[in-house]
Amino acid sequence: MTVAITATMIKELRDATGAPMGDCKKALTESNGDQKAASEYLQKKSLATAQKKSGRVAVEGRVSSYVHHDGKSGAIIEVNCESDFVANTPEFEELVRSFCLQIVAMRPEYVRKEDIPSDVLRNQRAIFEQQVREMGKPENLVPKIAEGKLAAWYGDICLLEQPYIKDEKGTSIAKFLAERIAKTGENIVVRRFSRFELGEGLAKKEDDFVAEVERMAQGQA
């Protein structure tokens, strides 16, 4: 039985996904009115669209920064798109700033999995494999379980693999970007970022601290 697609159904799907009205109507038609199936249809379409556009050059965009209210951490990021028109929209500006907030809060080390140095990846895989062996798992299962641990690790250290903190559904930033690409019609690329933590790498040894206190005391004597 074919379900009649109503304006209310289209609005409900649009509110849930942010997709254009025409795409929502088509998704509901293809899914015979099933909201969940229609949402999955739109996600697949967004990913397919993003893959098609991923090879297009994106040299415009915006650099944004954020400093936490306590002044002890901050981030700067460059996100590229294809035109000044998109780069100067409030939505794009908010997107870039939100990614800065994500970086400060979630502490990623790399943009994407492909950015992880081969020696770092090799060492982490070896650590996970050893952990699995210590759990007493059969040797033939070690690589598979270790790969599962690596996937979770990517979600910690790679920005695009992290759940987007502004998305209640826990959508990864990569999937969220795919949806934005489909909506704007332009390729959007997170090119690079840097995160700053006050005093990072400058921790003093306890002996140095004691020596400094003693020098101060002698100066006051």
CA-CA distance, 6 to 28, in Å (whole number)?
10
- Taking alpha carbons only, the member of 163, 177, 197, 187 closest to residue 96 is 177
From first to last of its 221 residues, the chain has per-residue pLDDT tens of 777 888 888 888 887 776 778 888 888 888 888 888 888 777 676 656 555 555 566 789 999 999 999 999 999 999 999 999 999 999 999 999 999 999 999 999 999 999 999 999 999 999 999 999 999 999 999 999 999 999 999 999 999 999 999 988 888 999 999 888 888 888 899 999 999 999 887 765 555 656 666 666 666 55
Q: Does the residue 138 lie in any domain?
A: yes
Same domain, yes or no: 162 and 80: yes
CA-CA distance, 54 to 56, in Å (whole number)?
6
Distances, alpha carbon 48 to alpha carbons 4, 52, 78, 142, 221, in Å = 27, 6, 24, 33, 74
Same domain, yes or no: 23 and 88: no
Q: Does the residue 1 lie in any domain?
A: no
> 35, 53, 71 — which closes off a domain?
53
Same domain, yes or no: 13 and 120: no
Same domain, yes or no: 16 and 103: no
Q: Does the residue 217 lie in any domain?
A: no
Whether pTM > 0.85 for this model: the answer is no
* pLDDT tens track for 67-126: 999 999 999 999 999 999 999 999 999 999 999 999 999 999 999 999 999 999 999 999
Same domain, yes or no: 112 and 163: yes
Q: Which residues, in sequence order, are CB contacts of 112 under 8 Å at separation 6+?
A: 158, 159, 160, 161, 174, 190
Domain hosting residue 42, numbered range: 7-53
Which CATH number characterizes residue 20's domain?
1.10.8.10
Q: Does the residue 177 lie in any domain?
A: yes
